[in-house]
Amino acid sequence: MTKRIVVNAGLTETRVAVQEGNLLTELYLERARHRSIVGAVYKGVVTNVLPGMQAAFVDIGLAKDAFLYAGDYTADLGHAMRLADDQEASSADQGALLAEQGAWGTSGVPQLQDEDVEESPRREAVAPIEDVLRKGQEVLVQVSKEPLGTKGARVTSFISLPGRYLVYMPQSRHIGVSRRIRDEAERDRLRGAVRELAQAAGGFIVRTNAEGRGEDEFRTDVDFLRRLWGQIHARYASAPAPSVLHEEGDLTFRVVRDLLSPDIDEFIADTSDMYEKCRQYVETLVPALAERVRLWEEPTPVFEALGIEKEIEKALRRRVWLKSGGYIVIDHTEALVSIDVNTGKYVGKRDFEQTVLKINMEAVGEVVRQIRLRDLGGIIIIDFIDMEAAENRDQVYRALKRALLADKARTNVLEISELGLVEMTRKRVRQDLRALLSTTCPTCKGSGVTKSDETLTAELFRAIRTKGASAPGKDIVVRVHPDLAAHLEGDRRDDVDRLATMIGARVSVESVRQPKAREDYELIVR
C-alpha cells in the first residue's frame, strides 16, 4: 500500500496530510497567527500556589496562567540546571549551534505526535507544593498541553528535547527505548549504543526512527541536544520572567523529523518554495530519502486531486458510512467522546451474530482512523453492536488493539463489556480537528438543536401579551427571523389576529435577517 505525505502551503495556513493508499489517516494544520505552544520552554513566574489542589499557576506570558501539578515539578531544579554547566558550549560552539538551529528551525511547536516511548510511572511530588514553590518564584517549565477551552496550558519542569532519533531529558538518568521497537535484541543494542554516548548528565529515549541506526547518527543527536540544553540554560540565567526560552521548528520541519521514514513512498509539496524548504530539511535530517521529495506540478490543487479535501469534509460530519452499509456516529460531550456503531443498511447473509460481528470488525478500522484523523483525546467510549458470543467480543477487542498500534498517541483500552462498550483514553495535548476547523453555531449555540416554530410562537405570544399589558392601546411590531415570520404569517395568522384582539392593539410581523439566531426577536411599541 502506497504511503505518502502531502504538504499544502496556503497564504494563511499550512496543511500536511498522511495518506495510506487513498485513505487519509492523519491531518496536521498550522496557522501563522495561531501556532501551538506544546513543547515550548519558558521562564515563568508563580502567581498562585494551591495547597488544596497540590498545584500552582504560572505566568508564562500568555493570556491565561499555566497550570503546574505538584508531580510535574522538581524541587531540585538547581541541580538540573547545574547539569547544564558541564554541557554548556563555548562561544565558538554557541555560534555553531545558532547556525545549526537555522537549519533545524527554532520557532513553532514540537513533535507531531505524543512520543511513542516507554512510560515511567506517574511522577509523585517529592514534597507538598507549598514547601517547594512560593508566589513570585521564577521557574523553568515546558508546555505539555496547550490551552483547551477555558483551561490554561499545562506545564512541567521535566524538560524533554526531541531530536531525529533521540529525546533528551536533562533531569533524568534513564535510557529508554520506544515501545514500538519490539525486538528485544535490537532494544538491548540501542540501549547500549546510547549508554556509551550518554556518559555524564541527562537521560535519553530512543525513538522509533532509530531502529537499525548506529552510534554515528546518535552522536549527532546527542551533541546537538546537549548544546541546545546548554543554550536554554544560558537564556534562563539572563532572560526576564516571563519569557520564552526555546521554541521548536515549523510544521514542515517537524513533519520531516517525526514522520518521514523509509516506509513513506513519496513526499509531495505543492509550491516551489515549500518544495525547496522540505528538500533542505530532508537533506539535513534524512539525506537517504531526499529523492522521495517531489513538487506537485499539476493544475488541479493537490489536496483536491488526491481526494484529501473530501476526506477532510467528511471528518467534520457526525455520521461516517462504512462500505458495507453500516455507519458510525461520533458525538462530543464535555466529559467524553462517544462513538456508536450501527448496522444501517447492512442486513447480512447468515445469522444475526455473524452480521453483527462483520459490522463491528469493519467498524474497528474506521473508528481508529477517525480517532487519529480527528485527533480525538480524553475519554472515548465506543459502543459496538451487542455480541452474544464471548469469542466474538474478544476478536473485536484484539482487532481494536492491533489497529491502535498505528497510533503514536498514548492510549489505554479496557476490554469490551457484555454490553458491547469499550472504554479507552487517548492522550490529548492539543485541540481536535473539529475545534480547529469549526466554530460554535450561532443558532443552536453548540447544542445541535434549535427550538421548533411552535415553541417559539408560544414564547413570542407570551412576550407580546406582557408588552401589551405594559403599553395598553399601542401597536406592536414583531421583528423576527424570516423562517418564523413565514410561520406566523401562514399557519398562525389567525392566532396572531386573535392575540391582537385580546390585547386591544394591532400586531404586525416583520421579517428581518438581523437576528443571529431563529430564537432572537424584537418587539417594538408604536
- Residue closest to 313 by CA, chosen among 374, 371, 269: 374
What are the domain boundaries of the chain? Answer: 3-33+255-309, 41-246, 316-437, 453-525
The pLDDT value recorded for residue 514 is 62
- Cβ atoms of 118 and 178 within 8 Å: the answer is yes
Comparing 96 with 288, the larger pLDDT belongs to 288
Q: Say yes or no to pLDDT of 446 above 60.
A: yes
Average pLDDT over residues 127-136: 88
Element (H, E) at 321: strand 319-321
For residue 113, pLDDT beyond 60? no
CB contact set of 104 (below 8 Å; sequence gap of 6+):
224, 249, 253, 284
Task: For residue 124, name the pLDDT band (cuts at 50, 70, 90).
Answer: low
CA 329 from chain center: how many Å?
Answer: 20
Least-confidence region, from 62-66, 68-72, 79-83, 482-486 = 79-83
Task: Return the sign of the alpha-carbon dihedral for residues 260, 265, 268, 274.
Answer: positive
Residue 366: predicted pLDDT:
94
Tens digit of each residue's pLDDT (9 = 90 or more) over 502-512: 888 888 898 88
H or E stretch at 525: strand 521-525
Do you find a cis peptide bond into 242, omega within 30 degrees of 0? Answer: yes
The β-bridge partners of 244 are 42
pLDDT at 418: 79
Question: Taking the chain, what is the end-to-end CA distance rounded to the nearest angstrom?
Answer: 72
Higher-confidence residue of 93 and 129: namely 129
The predicted pLDDT at position 145 comes to 87
Query: Which residue has better confidence, 389 or 513?
Result: 389
pLDDT in tens, 208-252: 888 888 888 888 888 889 889 999 989 999 999 899 999 888 889
pLDDT digits (tens, 9 = 90+) for 373-397: 999 989 999 999 988 888 999 999 9
Question: For residue 91, what pLDDT is reported?
Answer: 33
Average pLDDT value for residue range 425-451: 82
Looking at domain 41-246, its CATH superfamily turns out to be Nucleic acid-binding proteins (2.40.50.140)
pLDDT of residue 447: 77
Domain at 3-33+255-309, CATH from 3.30.420.60, 3.30.1490.20, 3.50.50.60, 3.40.1160.10: 3.30.420.60
> For residue 221, what pLDDT is reported?
87
- For residue 199, name the pLDDT band (cuts at 50, 70, 90): low
Q: Across the chain, what does the average pLDDT equal?
A: 84
% the chain with pLDDT above 90: 41
Q: Is the pLDDT of residue 103 over 70?
A: no
Query: What pLDDT, in 10s, does the model give residues 464-485?
Result: 988 888 888 888 898 888 888 9
The CATH code for residues 453-525 is: 3.40.1260.20
pLDDT reported for residue 307: 93
Mean pLDDT of 476-495: 89
The yes-or-no verdict on residue 404 having pLDDT over 70 is yes
Is pLDDT at 78 greater than 70 in this prediction? no
DSSP 8-class letter at 164: S
Choose from 83-92, 268-277, 482-491 the range with maximum mean pLDDT.
268-277
Dist. CA 138–CA 242, nearest whole Å? 8
